[in-house]
Chains A and B, each alone.
Chain A
Amino acid sequence: MTTADLEEFEDELETCFGTSCGFCERGCPVYQALKVRTLSMKGRNRTMLGLLKKRFEITPSVVQAAFECTLCGNCDRWCALKNTDHTRAFREYLLKHGVEPMKEHSSLLASVKNYGNPWFQPRSARNKWLKGQDIPKAAPGKQEVLFFAGCTSAVMKPLVPSLVASAKLLRRANVNFAVMGQDEPCCGSTLLRVGQTEAFEMLEKENFDKFEALGVKKIVTACPGCYTTLRKSAESLGSEIEIVHITQELAELVKGGDLKVKRSSEKMTYHDPCHLGRLGGILDEPREIVGAASDFIEMPNHGYESRCCGAGAGLQSAFPKLSRELASKKIEEAKSTGATTLVTCCPFCETQLRTVPGMRVVDLMELLLKATEDSNKP
């Protein structure tokens, strides 16, 4: 069991009510943009508590409190409570109590069910990035390492170079890996974030049965969302398969000099994707790569305090105006460092941040590949 029901968190909600420090408000991108307290974590916890105590019915503001959140985890960074888990359980609670999924989320869910991705792309679309790559397809007992490309980068053309770069880098690093191509399943992140817990739990079980059947020992993910989701599933299902993000796989090689990198003099900054940084705890490895490949400078809010780009947890689809506002704020912060390029390594963040004009947004793997290729040039 990966998740818990809202009722199981009631004691934590009481603790938040008893404490009421509000330290979660300062770094909450949504609360800071809208300043309505039901949208801060303290207010959201109170809303859940009031609902469980039947102080009010499910109202439009209750639904908004549940869903107008990117689940970026900034509130967790400043707290000892499991706030993002409360929010996810809140969403599930509402769906169980007669709230219809938001129409934008319903279509995502239908797509996951029918196509194994939330993008309405046929399963075969996951093969596109593999054309001409000569990467073996995973087969039972034939490989120990599985490169898990994730759906978003595989089906969205502007993100394909990132996967190609990842595969080339893994090969340069002499990692023997295979891919699942069109058989690669959905990791279930979308289901989990929008409160479809039952569907998620069925899916994660199926997924790990497949991985185990292939005899995989390690999964290297390209997407931070896949990384946190698969890691949590592995833990909760008791699987011994090791889940790592590609930055972890490659940073050590860069540091040890096994991957030769040419450093550019360009000033670059790095955006921590919420799922990789705050939620995944992977803060140093991407910095080692950006630092080796450029004149790296931090943004004022970085690492655990990095501000969300606004794309996550269904916000982009259901609350596009707010989502755009958060992306603009992020780009402003990046510009304030004097950097000319913003590096990141999440398909959602990249797509989101590229919608804001005025700053070059580069994928970390593409940056690293170029820097390794440049190091071979005379």
Chain B
Amino acid sequence: MKYISELQAVLGDEKLLTDPAELYVYGADWSPRTSDEIHPPDVVVQPKTTLDVQRIVEVAYANGIPVTAGGGLTGMLGGAVSLYGGIYIDTTTMNSIIEIDPKNQTVRVQAGATLQEVNDAVNPYGLWLPHQPESKWVSTVGAAIACDNDSTFGVRYGKILNCLLSVEIVTGSGEILELGHRKAHFTSSGYKLKDLMAGSEGTLGVVTEATLKLEPIPETRIVEMLVFHRMGSAVDYLSRLLRAGVGIEAAHINCKRRLKFYTHAYTAKFGGEAEIPAWAEALLAIAFAGDEKMANAQRDHAIAIAAEFDAELVKEREIVDSWWASKYTLEFEPFKQKWPDVQKAKKFGAADPGVPVGRLEEFYHKFVEVAEKHKLEIIGMNAYLEHPNSIGFSLSCAVFVDYRSADEIRRFRLFHDELSKLAIEFDGTMSTFMSDTHQKAPYLELEHGRSLVYMREIKRLFDPKGIMNPGKKFPREEG
């Protein structure tokens, strides 16, 4: 192909992968699909600098070739998969930490640095990047921005956009743009184009660098787990904690079923399942952080208030610790990491809707109903609080999917679509951490109505030829 020799000419051979085996491994992400459903790009490029990315996009623009940028390829819905072939930009070769500014508590990084690499670099300064999805070892800064994925500590720090001060992109015509407000935490000036990048899935441009706000690492963290009679009571309790002025670092409401999935470490250690009282329908995992005295005081006050809601503390520390290992510390028994171990027969698949805070329980019952209708084994629901100091949550409505069965994959997608659409009926949103990808593209108008026209115009402005990750958000022909 002509454009591949043009890429060779501007980048050099060593930054290009064209062997069919190499292309194959870049052809799928984490999402449920059979191993026959794979979309290898036509060429993988491994840039080192923003200028390399610009050269790549210029060649793609001149030749009308699709460009898909990816990081760790752990997306849960195919966001960084090259549906239409073309060029795959492997950003993991751009993982430099450019500047650590401890005084202003910021870091400037290349987009391919993993969230863990950023934290490894800033940790010696007593600072951290609190945007922490479970995939943090592999998930890159650029991918976190493009996907707008979830974070364990959202209730205190928000998600990646709350950490993002400025972002450099290469647009679909090859222009390098800096969007944001340098090292200031916010701005009232201009349109907030930087915010467009969160969840943009590389459809507007390729993220190449970012300036991120860091936070001081708290001295102590205390994690507890409470059980409630109902999921709704857990929401009311959290609202009560905020009224009481309790600072919460992390809060996750799990339905009872979900506990089994998150306590793999417990099962690996003790052989049996972690048990909670039979009456409990919901579990709240909650973390408090700060100076030891303060964290303890917050914890004690929160636990005292729990009595008002007939909630009970989970006293078996191993249950709490194994849940937290799965969620954050990743301290698994050596050679027994939970992901492959629990997924030998079926894998985790989810819908990611958001619903109003008062309708969690109602939506939970719908989730169970829809999963059962499509004959999918239920893992359970987790509501992650992901908005700073509020009870706003994202929902992970998870089922097991037999990824060796095309029929079950099809039923999973029906389940995903049905729940996404149902969330609109609930006055909610279709997506809170997986983005739209090609999966939600056909029915995005349900969510956005007339504003979708404006979105298409924005896309056109950034990507005049519709080459940036085509098929995502909008079907390709309309891109």
Contacts and interface: CB of A to CB of B under 8 A. Distances in A.
B29 A78 contact: no
B62 to A, nearest CB: 27
A25 B72 contact: yes
B90 A26 contact: no
B35 interface: yes
B404 interface: yes
Interface stretch (A60-68, A211-219, A242-250, A317-325): A60-68
Contact of B73 (A19, A20, A35): A20
A184 B361 CA distance: 71
Contacts of B336: 80
Contacts of B20: 55-57, 59
Contacts of B339: 19, 21, 23, 80
A51 interface: yes
Interface residues of A, number: 40
Contacts of B279: none
A57 B19 CA distance: 10
Interface string B6-36: 0000000000010111101110111010011
B335 A80 contact: yes
A20 B20 CA distance: 19
A197 to B, nearest CB: 23
Contacts of A22: 72-74, 135, 137-138
A352 B149 CA distance: 42
A47 B340 CA distance: 17
Interface in A231-264: none
Contacts of A15: 340, 343-344
Interface stretch (A36-44, A201-209, A356-364): A36-44
Contacts of B35: 14, 17-18, 49, 53
B28 A20 contact: yes
Contact of A21 (B21, B38, B74): B74
Contacts of A76: 335
Interface in B403-459: 403-404
B93 A21 contact: no
B24 A47 contact: yes
Interface in B244-292: none
A10 to B, nearest CB: 10
Contacts of B92: 35
A46 to B, nearest CB: 4
Interface in B335-378: 335-341, 343-344, 347
B328 to A, nearest CB: 14
Given A25-B137, A35-B90, A37-B22, A19 B334 contact: no
Contacts of B135: 21-22
Interface string B110-131: 0000101000000000000000
Given A53-B35, A56-B20, A80-B340, A18 B137 contact: no
B469 interface: no
A23 B19 contact: no
A304 interface: yes
A79 interface: yes
A77 interface: yes
* Residue in A18, A23, A56, A79 whose Cβ sees the most chain B Cβ within 10 Å: A18
A140 interface: no
Contacts of A77: 334-335
B322 interface: no
* Residue in A36, A55, A62, A80 whose Cβ sees the most chain B Cβ within 10 Å: A80
A62 B22 CA distance: 8
A47 B135 CA distance: 22
B50 interface: no
Contact of B340 (A61, A62, A81): A81
A265 B462 CA distance: 63
B28 A17 contact: yes
Interface string B27-58: 01110100110100000001000000000000
A292 interface: no
A77 B137 CA distance: 14
B416 to A, nearest CB: 17
Given A47-B25, A53-B35, A59-B21, A23 B343 contact: no
B22 A79 contact: no
B25 A21 contact: no
Contacts of B340: 15-16, 19, 21, 79-81
Given A25-B137, A35-B92, A14 B337 contact: no
A122 interface: no
A51 B138 contact: no
A79 B343 contact: no
A175 to B, nearest CB: 31
A338 interface: no
B46 A20 contact: no
B124 to A, nearest CB: 11
A35 B25 contact: no
A136 interface: no
Contact of A23 (B36, B137, B344): B137
14 contacts: A14-B403, A17-B403, A18-B343, A18-B404, A20-B73, A21-B337, A22-B137, A26-B116, A35-B46, A37-B90, A38-B19, A56-B24, A61-B21, A77-B334
Closest 9 pairs (CB-CB, A-B)? A80-B341, A61-B19, A56-B20, A18-B403, A22-B138, A43-B25, A21-B339, A46-B25, A20-B30
Interface of B: 17, 19-22, 24-26, 28-30, 32, 35-36, 38, 46, 72-74, 90, 92-93, 114, 116, 135, 137-138, 330, 332, 334-341, 343-344, 347, 403-404
Interface of A: 11, 14-23, 25-26, 35-38, 42-43, 46-47, 49-51, 53, 55-57, 59-62, 65, 76-81, 304
Given A21-B339, A80-B336, 11 more contacts: A15-B343, A18-B347, A20-B74, A23-B339, A25-B72, A36-B22, A37-B73, A47-B21, A78-B332, A79-B340, A80-B341
